[in-house]
Amino acid sequence: MAARAGVSAATVSRHLRGHRVRTAVAIQEAIDALGYRPSIAAQSLKSGRTRTIGVVVPDITNPYFAAVVKGMESASRDRGYRILLANSDESSEREDDVLTDMIHQVDGVILAPATEQDETPLHVRDAGMPLVFVDRDLAGGEHFDAVLVNNREGGRQAASHLLSLGHTRIAAISGQQETTPGRHRREGFVEALADGGLELLPEFDLTGDFREESGYQLTLQLLSSAEPPTALFTANNLMTVGALKALHDMRVGIPDQVSIIGFDDLDTGPLLNPPLTVIDRPMVEQGVLAMRLLLQRLGQGDDRGGGSRRITLDTKLVRRGSTGVPRR
């Protein structure tokens, strides 16, 4: 391969390890022409690394995390790293078990903590292993690299949109308050309502668990009120799906009787009848950035040290047909 590219074997080796070389184009052409595939096992034996990144998420069935992992995989593929994916099932105890088993099989970890009170990430750090948070933060987690989203602003955008349509009986189904997204989305929502002179009534202020069933049951609870809300904010995609099923089962018109806005878009969101209004965020990009931060810690990029790096991405309101003015 080196002879075909007209470079030394050492230069080829540097390119395969992810370093920048001036002859990268010629080397890549030689790789493609020869159909070369590096042996991960051989590289691991030589370097003492597994060439594997551990990824632990709270709910592997959530389309949001599927999109994030897709971004991670696209960023790690060309660097010769594989992903070992595990599910904590929203449990700190399960997360601890998973990471204990995983820690000797991977070179670094990307983690969405089950709760902010997790102690497990501290053990990962103490083991000298690079760790990056994605989606969720940790109490005192400012010493860790992280790729987050402005959840508080997303909650504010949802409330402001419903207020602008003239709604005054507004409900929210929030996620677990022990997590960054659950708490910050609710806080932003409540703050924006207060700015508009409106209070989130206790009977309309419900907390789910980021699962579809909780969205379904809590929406039924709201609809059973003597005076149901005319608008509903659901704080993640799975609870939105549950809420939509409840509204359908109860034959409640959207948005004629209840307007609904969810956090995180769905692949089918634009295809629903009516199409779903959402607070959207760059999900795949979150995964890409998290993987890049970790690979940099592993010496695969230009930035190999320094203090913690924390990236916060913006949300945006996507207006569709599931929200409208309240029926008089």
pLDDT per residue as tens digits for the range 154-178: 999 999 999 999 999 999 999 999 8
pLDDT for 139: 77
Amino acid, single-letter form, for residue 315: T
Residue 47 has pLDDT above 50, yes or no: no
pLDDT for 32: 75
CA angle (261, 265, 270) in 5-degree steps: 85
CA angle (4, 6, 11) in 5-degree steps: 105
Residue 245 has pLDDT above 60, yes or no: yes
Annotated domain spans of the chain: 1-37, 48-149+284-313, 151-280
The distance in angstroms from the start CA to the end CA of the chain is 74
48-149+284-313 and 151-280 in the same fold: yes
Query: Residue 104: left if φ>0, alpha if ψ -120 to 50, beta else—which one?
Result: alpha
pLDDT for 272: 87
Let me know: does 137 contact 85? Beta carbons within 8 Å.
no
User: Which token pair is 43?
Assistant: 């590289």
Rounded to whole angstroms, what are the CA distances from 138 to 59, 107, 119, 219, 314?
Answer: 17, 21, 9, 30, 20
- When pLDDT is cut at 50, 70 and 90, the band that residue 50 belongs to is confident
- When pLDDT is cut at 50, 70 and 90, the band that residue 49 belongs to is low
21-25, 63-67, 104-108, 281-285: range with lowest mean pLDDT? 21-25
Report which of residues 75 and 3 the model is more confident about.
Answer: 75
CATH domain 151-280 topology: Rossmann fold (3.40.50)
Name every residue whose Cβ is closer than 8 Å to that of residue 117 and which is 6 or more positions away in sequence.
92, 139, 178
Largest CA distance in the chain: 80
- When pLDDT is cut at 50, 70 and 90, the band that residue 23 belongs to is confident
pLDDT for 17: 59
Mean pLDDT taken over the chain: 88
pLDDT for 9: 73
User: Under DSSP, is residue 67 helix (H, G, I), strand (E, B) or coil?
Assistant: helix
Residue 128 has pLDDT above 90, yes or no: no
Return the bridge partners of 256, or none: none
Residue 302 has pLDDT above 50, yes or no: no
Alpha-carbon distance of 161 to 107, in angstroms, equals: 44
- Is 48-149+284-313 assigned to CATH 3.90.870.40? no
pLDDT for 307: 81
Cβ burial of 252 (10 Å; 0-12, 13-18, 19+) is middle
pLDDT for 16: 67
Residue 22 has pLDDT above 80, yes or no: no
pLDDT for 33: 74
Residue 277 has pLDDT above 70, yes or no: yes
pLDDT for 42: 45
pLDDT for 27: 73
Nearest CA to 299 out of 130, 143, 132, 84 is that of 130
96-105, 237-246, 281-290: range with lowest mean pLDDT? 96-105
Average pLDDT over residues 267-294: 93
Residue 109 has pLDDT above 70, yes or no: yes
